[in-house]
Amino acid sequence: MFDVKPADRLAALPPYLFAEIDRKKERRRAKGLEIIDLGVGDPDLPTPAPILDRLAEAAADSRLHRYPPSAGLTAFREAVAAWYLRRYGVTLDPETEVTNLIGSKEGIGHVPLALVNPGEEVWIPDPGYPVYLSGTIFAGGAPRFMPLRHDLGFLPDLEALEPNGFDRARLIYVNYPNNPTGAVAPRSFYERLIQLARRHRVLVVADAAYAELADSPQPSILEIDGAREVAIEIGSFSKTFNMTGWRVGWAVGNAAAIRALVSLKSNLDSGCFGAVQMAAIRGFDLIDEHLPGLKRTYAERRQVAVAGLRELGLEVFPPGGTFYVWARVPGDLRSVEFCARVLDSSGVVTTPGVGFGRNGEGYFRLALCSEVAAVKKAMALLAEAGLWAARSGS
Ligand SMILES: *Cc1c(COP(=O)(O)O)cnc(C)c1O
């Protein structure tokens, strides 16, 4: 008889901050009160039908019922390489510079385990996707947080890297189009980042989960001269093709980093179901038909949310893409308290900025994975709730 306790590395993760909001949500649901959930970034629209058809066909192919190669099926790696050539003009060797992932989160979380030694520094955007920190903690790495500043368009201040000891960094994460802020990064940002990373021999991990969900086409970090010496990019079918439940993505770029990641994966998992890989790459063939409508849908929702919040007098950061809207908490409430009040008074679920890191405090995020009518209704409910009395310190 003994108490089973989680390992210290789990205890080292940041505390879960949303228990109170979850309870409120449950209580509302139990009472049958309306909830509009703008909390979770998980596409509401279905996966395109041709991908489903391809899955059905591939699922019947018994050759795909066996273990796939750790790095992914050859057809998968070739399709990702062909996509990079077509989309970015970047040539990748499918044998050495591409691997399949079981969703990009898997790769993002495993990269430090494959490439960072205990005690080595990992530079992490704050606010940011929480997996950069969890992966770092699990690998015993030392997290260093880079503030994403509103006045710099939520880009890290690259000119502050060297003065802050970037020569000690082993790995740096960046993520544009950005979750949670909706910010995008210009090519010049990647150019300077690659220059610094080469100078200090730091591996850059660019999380490109929203690469296709920007108003204007965004560059890949791998377009930059010298990038493949120091960078990998992580991509996903999840947001582009409404496939979050399928668990399929990729990592591309620096061959030594890809090799290390594949070697780690071959010891932990046995890859993503081959039929899922075959179905996912069907997406690249349909992207020209599929994407414009999807982008219009999100742009319309964002427009409604941005205008609605602004009408209420809130300061909203203009998103350049994604399905997120990032806004300042009015008055001097903590973001958790603010989102709890919003939920109580309107039934609208939002995410407190502090959940994405200390520098997210003072902000909240809307995830627009509900139809535009629901987003409109949410804005009306917020207006009715008259909640900005919060401002006068109630
Ligand atoms: C959604 C998301 C991902 C993960 O997507 P997968 O479903 O694991 O491919 C990665 N990075 C960011 C910033 C995300 O928001």
Average of per-residue pLDDT across 212-223: 97
Lowest mean pLDDT among 14-18, 28-32, 109-113, 174-178: 14-18
What is the 94 CA–ligand 1 centroid distance (Å)? 23
**Residue 119: per-residue pLDDT:** 98
Q: Is 110 in the pocket of ligand 1 (CB under 6 A)?
A: no
Confidence of residue 394 (pLDDT cuts 50, 70, 90): very low
Q: What is the torsional sign of CA 102, 104, 109, 112? A: positive
Q: Are 122 and 141 in contact (CB under 8 A)?
A: yes
DSSP string of 55-93? HHHHHT-GGGGSPPPTT--HHHHHHHHHHHHHHH-----
Q: Is 258 in the pocket of ligand 1 (CB under 6 A)?
A: no
The 3-class SS string of 107-175 reads: HHHHHHHHHCCCCCEEEEEECCCCHHHHHHHHCCCEEEEEEEEHHHCCEECHHHCHHHCHHHEEEEEEC
Average of per-residue pLDDT across 159-184: 98
Single-letter code of the amino acid located at 345: S
Structure tokens at 364: 């909240």
Task: Look up the pTM and report it.
Answer: 0.96
Confidence check: pLDDT of 390 > 80 = no
Among candidates 186, 177, 241, which has minimal Cα distance to 211?
Answer: 177
Q: Which residues, at least 6 apart from 72, have a Cβ–Cβ distance to it below 8 Å?
A: 98, 99, 100, 250, 271, 272, 277
**Residue 387: per-residue pLDDT:** 74
Q: Is 178 in the pocket of ligand 1 (CB under 6 A)?
A: no
Angle (CA) 263 268 274, round 5°: 85
Confidence check: pLDDT of 389 > 60 = no
What is the 62 CA–ligand 1 centroid distance (Å)? 30
**Residue 293: per-residue pLDDT:** 98
Single-letter code of the amino acid located at 229: E
CATH, range 8-46+289-386? 3.90.1150.10
What is the 208 CA–ligand 1 centroid distance (Å)? 8
What is the 314 CA–ligand 1 centroid distance (Å)? 28
Q: Is 242 in the pocket of ligand 1 (CB under 6 A)?
A: no
Q: Which residues, at least 6 apart from 348, have a Cβ–Cβ distance to it below 8 Å?
A: 35, 36, 38, 342, 378, 381, 382
- Supply φ then ψ for residue 214, to 5 degrees: -120, 155
Among candidates 69, 108, 6, 62, which has minimal Cα distance to 269?
Answer: 69
Confidence check: pLDDT of 15 > 70 = yes
Confidence check: pLDDT of 393 > 80 = no
Mean of per-residue pLDDT scores for the chain: 96
Q: Which fold has domain 49-287?
A: Aspartate Aminotransferase; domain 2 (3.40.640)
Best substitution site from 101, 105, 250, 272 to test ligand 1's pocket, by max atoms within 8 Å of Cβ?
A: 105
**Domain boundary assignment for the chain:** 8-46+289-386, 49-287
Per-residue model confidence as pLDDT tens digits over 256-290: 999 999 999 999 999 999 999 999 999 999 999 99
**Residue 172: per-residue pLDDT:** 98
Q: Is 238 in the pocket of ligand 1 (CB under 6 A)?
A: yes
What is the 2 CA–ligand 1 centroid distance (Å)? 38
What percent of the chain has a predicted confidence (pLDDT) above 70?
98
What is the 176 CA–ligand 1 centroid distance (Å)? 12
**Residue 16: per-residue pLDDT:** 83
Residue 94: CB atoms within 10 Å: 20
Radius of gyration of the chain (CA): 21
What is the 269 CA–ligand 1 centroid distance (Å)? 19
Per-residue model confidence as pLDDT tens digits over 51-71: 999 999 999 999 999 999 999
Confidence check: pLDDT of 391 > 60 = no
**Residue 168: per-residue pLDDT:** 98
Ligand 1 atom 14: residue of nearest CA:
209
Per-residue model confidence as pLDDT tens digits over 310-320: 999 999 999 99
Lowest mean pLDDT among 100-109, 172-181, 340-349, 382-391: 382-391
Closest ligand 1 atom, residue 179 Cα: 13
**Residue 1: per-residue pLDDT:** 76
CA distance 101 to 220: 18
Q: Is 319 in the pocket of ligand 1 (CB under 6 A)?
A: no
Among candidates 246, 252, 250, 251, which has minimal Cα distance to 273?
Answer: 246
Q: Are 128 and 147 in contact (CB under 8 A)?
A: no
